[in-house]
C-alpha cells in the first residue's frame, strides 16, 4: 500500500479492531458491546478508506436478556479470520462465554452464533489453524467477571471450532512478566516456523503492545514490548491486528471512543516486529484524512442505513412504515435516555462535526423527541408536547452512575438548559448540533428559518466501554416523530 494517510484512519469508536486481507480487500470487525446489530463488518481496498458491509449479529444472544440496555456487556473484542473458504468471527460475551459465527460472504448472512466455551470472564478469543490442520483457540480473562486476569489460556479445538478437545492451558502468565498488567486481547499468528501472539497490556487508556513468540504452539512464549506511547500524544496504543506490513490499533479518545490508527510494521534482524517509528506511533504518511464510513442518511424508504444501531435488541416496531423517505420513530414509554432501548444511534464521529435534521412531532401531550449526544451524561435538543402547545426544548442529564431512580421527584437527572420556547403551530423545525475536537457540544435550532442558539455548552462523555452516541429518539404515550434527512459534515463548528 502506498497511499498518503493521516491517523486516526477511523476517527470514531471502532473498538478493539481485528483485520484480515482476503484477495485485494481488507476486512475489519470490532467490538460492539451492547449495540445492536453487533459485530460490524467493514471493507477497504487500502486500510485507509472504509465502508460498512453489514453486521454479523442481527441481535444479541440471549435474545430476551438483551431486550434492555446493558452497558458494558455484550460483544467484547472479537477475532476475524478466513479459513477453508469461510469467514470466521470468534467473539466473547463476558457474562456468557465465547461464541463463533461464520459466513461465505463477509456481507452475510452469518450463521447463528454457537456458544463453544461457556463461562463468565472468558474474553478476547482468537483461533489459529496450524499448517497440519489442527485448530486452537486462545483467550483472556476479565477480572470483573471471574476475579482474576493478566493471563492467556488456550485450547486445542475441533477443526470447525465447535468444541474444545481438552481443558484449557495457561500459555502466558502475565504475572511472571516484569511490569505486565491487564494482559488481554491476544491475536494468534504463524510466521516462518514461529508462533506469534500479539497482545496488549496495561489497560485501555495507558497501555502498550506486546509481541510474544514461541516455536511451540503452547509455549513458552518470549515477550517483548513492540509499541508504546513514548513522547507522542497517542495514549495507550495497543489492541489491534497485524496484516501484511501494517499494524492497526486503537487509541482511547474519551467521548469519541477508541479510534483506529495505522502503523507500518517491519521485521528486525533478530526476527522481531518493529511497529511505527522504532516502537512509537507515527502520525501517518501525509495530511489526508481518511474517508470514514457513512454518517449522513436520507433514510431511503423510511429505513436507516447500516451506521445506525440500538442499545438493546429491538422489538421490530420502533420504526413505523410510511410513504416516502425520512425516518418515523414510534413514541415509546421511557424517561432516562440511558435506559431507553429505542434510541437510534451511531458512533460519534471526530474530530469535528455538525449534525442537522428536521423534526415533526405528531403525538399527545407528554411526548418528546429530538437529537441527543448520549454517554454517561447526555444532552438533547428537540420538541416537547404540553397541553398548551409545542415547545423547543434543550435538556442536560448528569451522571448518576448505576443508581436506580424511582418516582418523578428525582427526574432522572434531566434539567432544562434554558427556558423552553413555545413555537407556532405547524412551524418547520430544524435541529442542529456542533461538536469540537474537545467534545464540546453546542445546540441550536431553526424555527421557520429563525435561529435559536442561546443554550449552554455541553461536554460529551463516553458510555461504559464505548464512546458517546449521536442519536435520535421519541418518547411518549403514543404517536410518532418524523425526522427528515440526517446530515453530518466534518466542517469546523461555527
At 265, list the grid cell: 510494521
Residue 66 three-state SS:
helix
Are residues 198 and 210 in contact, defined by beta-carbon separation less than 8 angstroms? yes
184 catalytic, yes or no? yes
Q: Which residues does residue 440 pair with via DSSP β-bridges, in sequence order?
A: 459
| Radius of gyration for the chain, computed over Cα atoms and rounded to the nearest angstrom | 23
Here the cell at position 75 is 460483544
Q: Are 482 and 324 in contact (CB under 8 A)?
A: no
Q: Three-class SS of residue 461?
A: coil
SS3 at position 450: strand
Select from 129, 68, 12 the least CA-distant residue to 342.
68
Residue with the three cell numbers 513468540 = 213
d(CA 47, CA 32): 20
Among candidate residues 93, 124, 184, 482, the one labeled active-site is 184
- What 8-state DSSP symbol labels residue 295? -
Selecting among 16, 93, 252, 297, the annotated active-site residue is 16
Cis ω before 8 (30° cut-off from 0): yes
β-pair partners for 369:
383, 474
| Spatial distance between the Cα atoms of 159 and 469, rounded to a whole number of angstroms | 39
Secondary structure E strands in 176-301: 187-191, 194-201, 208-214, 222-227, 238-243, 246-252, 258-267, 273-275
Indicate which residues carry an active-site annotation.
16, 184
Amino acid at each position: 500500500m502506498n497511499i498518503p494517510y493521516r491517523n486516526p484512519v477511523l476517527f470514531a469508536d471502532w473498538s478493539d479492531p481485528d483485520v484480515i486481507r482476503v484477495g485485494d480487500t481488507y476486512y475489519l470487525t470490532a467490538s460492539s458491546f451492547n449495540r445492536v446489530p453487533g459485530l460490524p463488518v467493514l471493507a477497504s481496498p487500502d486500510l485507509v478508506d472504509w465502508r460498512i458491509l453489514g453486521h454479523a449479529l442481527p441481535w444479541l444472544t440471549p435474545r430476551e436478556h438483551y431486550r434492555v440496555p446493558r452497558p458494558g456487556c455484550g460483544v467484547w473484542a472479537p477475532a476475524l479470520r478466513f479459513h477453508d473458504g469461510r469467514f470466521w468471527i470468534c467473539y466473547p460475551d463476558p457474562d456468557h462465554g465465547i461464541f463463533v459465527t461464520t459466513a461465505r460472504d463477509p456481507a452475510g448472512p452469518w450463521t447463528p452464533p454457537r456458544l463453544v466455551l461457556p463461562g463468565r470472564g472468558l474474553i478476547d478469543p482468537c483461533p489459529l489453524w496450524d499448517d497440519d490442520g489442527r485448530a486452537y483457540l486462545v483467550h483472556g480473562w476479565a477480572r470483573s467477571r471471574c476475579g482474576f486476569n493478566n493471563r492467556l489460556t488456550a485450547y486445542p479445538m475441533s477443526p470447525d471450532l465447535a468444541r474444545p478437545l481438552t481443558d484449557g492451558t495457561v500459555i502466558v502468565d502475565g504475572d511472571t512478566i516484569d511490569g505486565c498488567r491487564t494482559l488481554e486481547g491476544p491475536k494468534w499468528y504463524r510466521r516462518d516456523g514461529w508462533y506469534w501472539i500479539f497482545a496488549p497490556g496495561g489497560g485501555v487508556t495507558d497501555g502498550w503492545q506486546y509481541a510474544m513468540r514461541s516455536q511451540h504452539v503452547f509455549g513458552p512464549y518470549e515477550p517483548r514490548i513492540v509499541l508504546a506511547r513514548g513522547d507522542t500524544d497517542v495514549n495507550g496504543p495497543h489492541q489491534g491486528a497485524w496484516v501484511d506490513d501494517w499494524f492497526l490499533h486503537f487509541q482511547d479518545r474519551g467521548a469519541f471512543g477508541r479510534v483506529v490508527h495505522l502503523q507500518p510494521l517491519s521485521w528486525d534482524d533478530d526476527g522481531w516486529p518493529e511497529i511505527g517509528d522504532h516502537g512509537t506511533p507515527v502520525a501517518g504518511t501525509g495530511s489526508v484524512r481518511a474517508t470514514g464510513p457513512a454518517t449522513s442518511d436520507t433514510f431511503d424508504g423510511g429505513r436507516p442505513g447500516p451506521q445506525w444501531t440500538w442499545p438493546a435488541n429491538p422489538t421490530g416496531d420502533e420504526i413505523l412504515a410510511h410513504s416516502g423517505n425520512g425516518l418515523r420513530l414510534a413514541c415509546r414509554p421511557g424517561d432516562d435516555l440511558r435506559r431507553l432501548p429505542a434510541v437510534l444511534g451511531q458512533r460519534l464521529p471526530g474530530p469535528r462535526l455538525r449534525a442537522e435534521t428536521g423534526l415533526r412531532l405528531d403525538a399527545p401531550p407528554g411526548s418528546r423527541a429530538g437529537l441527543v449526544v448520549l454517554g454517561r451524561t447526555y444532552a438533547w435538543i428537540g420538541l416537547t408536547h404540553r397541553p398548551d402547545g409545542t415547545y423547543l426544548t434543550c435538556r442536560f442529564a448528569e451522571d448518576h452512575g448505576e443508581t436506580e431512580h424511582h418516582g418523578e421527584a428525582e427526574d432522572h437527572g434531566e434539567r432544562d438548559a434554558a427556558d423552553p420556547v413555545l413555537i407556532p403551530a405547524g412551524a418547520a423545525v430544524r435541529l442542529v448540533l456542533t461538536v469540537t475536537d474537545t467534545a464540546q457540544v453546542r445546540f441550536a435550532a431553526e424555527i421557520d428559518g429563525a435561529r435559536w442558539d442561546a443554550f449552554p455548552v455541553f461536554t460529551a462523555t463516553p458510555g461504559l466501554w464505548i464512546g458517546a452516541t449521536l442519536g435520535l429518539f421519541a418518547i411518549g404515550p403514543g404517536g410518532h416523530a418524523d425526522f427528515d434527512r440526517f446530515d453530518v459534515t466534518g466542517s469546523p463548528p461555527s
